Amino acid sequence: MQAFDVVVVGGGPAGAAAALAARRHGASVLVVDRADFPRDKVCGDGVAPEALDVLAALGADVEAITDGFPAVPRLRLTSPSGRTVERTMHRPAVVVPRAVLDGRVLAAALAAGARFRRHTVRRLSPGPDGVDVDGELTAGVVVGADGAESVVRRALGVAANRPDRLAVAIRGYARAGDPGVQVITTTDQRWPAYAWSFPVGDGRANVGYGELVSGGATRAGLLEGLHRLLPGVAPEGLRAHRLPLSTGRPRQPDGRVLLAGDAASLINPMTGEGIFYAVLSGALAGAAAAHGAGAGAVLRAALADRLGTHLRHTSAASRLSSRPWLMDAAFGAATADQRVFDDVVALGLADGRLTARTLLGAVSTLRRRTRPA
């Protein structure tokens, strides 16, 4: 059997970031994936600048990764009641199709010295000195970055998210509207649910619609929601995928098997964003792998230090957002105050907080709306 210090299962952003981080610690790294690259992955394709910051810190050339895909400076948000706010973001996002993004980030990991093999992992056997992978490979540490249906997670005996902590979304590509504006539209029908339209920069937009599995989501219902919130779109290549939300995030077990990205249920419950979480948790997992048998505890502590407060705030915001009128109030505050808008964007797309300014702004909006004429 071939032996590696680190075997990363999954070559997407989380896995590639893990490989980059492990290589910076001098580890021998093999990335395995059931698909060759480039390949498509169902996603909204939006990449927050904070995700690019993580990749840059790992030594990746982010200009090469985003080459050909211009920044999208503005974001338009529509509340459940139809209130709309559109502003320039503090830092623009980019929209890079996963068929391009994943191959480029993986290429950066391979350029750093990682190796790649097409292989479908079926069995893991952790032992005192390493992890046996399908009787073909041994690893000091395995990083499971194999997505929402993670084989590695199941091998650890970690249960899947409950239906009320699991979303499902459908995504396709359609003709873009304004190429400089990302659009997120919410609705009080089948709440919480929302649609998006993110311009890619080549005349197309990534469009989609998602809602909680516990609401009885069906493909027909997803399509109806997409066309109701984005009337007139004619998307092609529609595919659905599941989103294990961070409100159902499992505890990272001790030991030599780590979880990152979707496999660790790191999906923002407010927006469905996962690429920032993926590259950050992958980077932390790759660094933790240097600790061998202690890697699980090290990663758990690193995630708590880096994302703990943020995840508590997104969980609280998710509970508050179960009341559509509160979302309306927050959007009203964002309309009146650029700093509130920036705080809301950071909470939904990166590692921001539910700030006092946002809460006070929402309360002020509610008071104005309930004040007697």
Token code pair at residue 106: 């993986």
In this predicted structure, what is the pLDDT of residue 78? Answer: 94
In angstroms, the CA 158 to CA 252 distance is 9
> Could you give the 3-state DSSP secondary structure of residue 257?
strand
- Of how many residues is the chain composed? 373
pLDDT category of residue 187 using cuts at 50, 70 and 90: confident
In angstroms, the CA 281 to CA 31 distance is 16
In angstroms, the CA 172 to CA 180 distance is 19
Distances (CA, A) of 142 to 108, 139, 279: 20, 6, 16
Q: What is the pLDDT of residues 246-275, one digit of tens each?
A: 999 999 999 999 999 999 999 999 999 999
CB 65 within 8 A of CB 107: no
Q: What is the pLDDT of residues 204-227, one digit of tens each?
A: 999 999 999 998 999 999 999 999
Token code pair at residue 152: 């590695």
Domain with CATH 3.50.50.60 in the chain: 2-70+94-161+246-315
pLDDT > 70? residue 167: yes
Q: Tell me the pLDDT of the chain averaged across its residues.
A: 95
In this structure, the strands spanning 2-9 and 29-33 are parallel
Q: What is the pLDDT of residues 310-326, one digit of tens each?
A: 999 999 999 988 888 88
Domain with CATH 3.30.9.10 in the chain: 163-244
Mean pLDDT of all residues in 326-349: 95
- Rg of the chain on CA atoms, in Å: 20
Assigned CATH topology for domain 2-70+94-161+246-315: FAD/NAD(P)-binding domain (3.50.50)
pLDDT category of residue 371 using cuts at 50, 70 and 90: low
Assigned CATH topology for domain 163-244: D-Amino Acid Oxidase; Chain A, domain 2 (3.30.9)
Q: Is 154 or 367 the better-scoring residue by pLDDT? A: 154
pLDDT > 70? residue 370: no
In this predicted structure, what is the pLDDT of residue 1? Answer: 85
Which residues 6+ apart lie within 8 Å of 218 measured at CB?
none
Q: Is 182 or 321 the better-scoring residue by pLDDT? A: 182
Look at 16-20, 25-29, 175-179, 285-289 and tell me which has the smallest mean pLDDT: 175-179
In this predicted structure, what is the pLDDT of residue 334? Answer: 96
pLDDT category of residue 152 using cuts at 50, 70 and 90: very high
In this predicted structure, what is the pLDDT of residue 188? Answer: 81
Local structure of residue 241 (DSSP, 8 states): E
In this predicted structure, what is the pLDDT of residue 373? Answer: 45
Q: What percent of the chain has pLDDT over 90?
A: 91
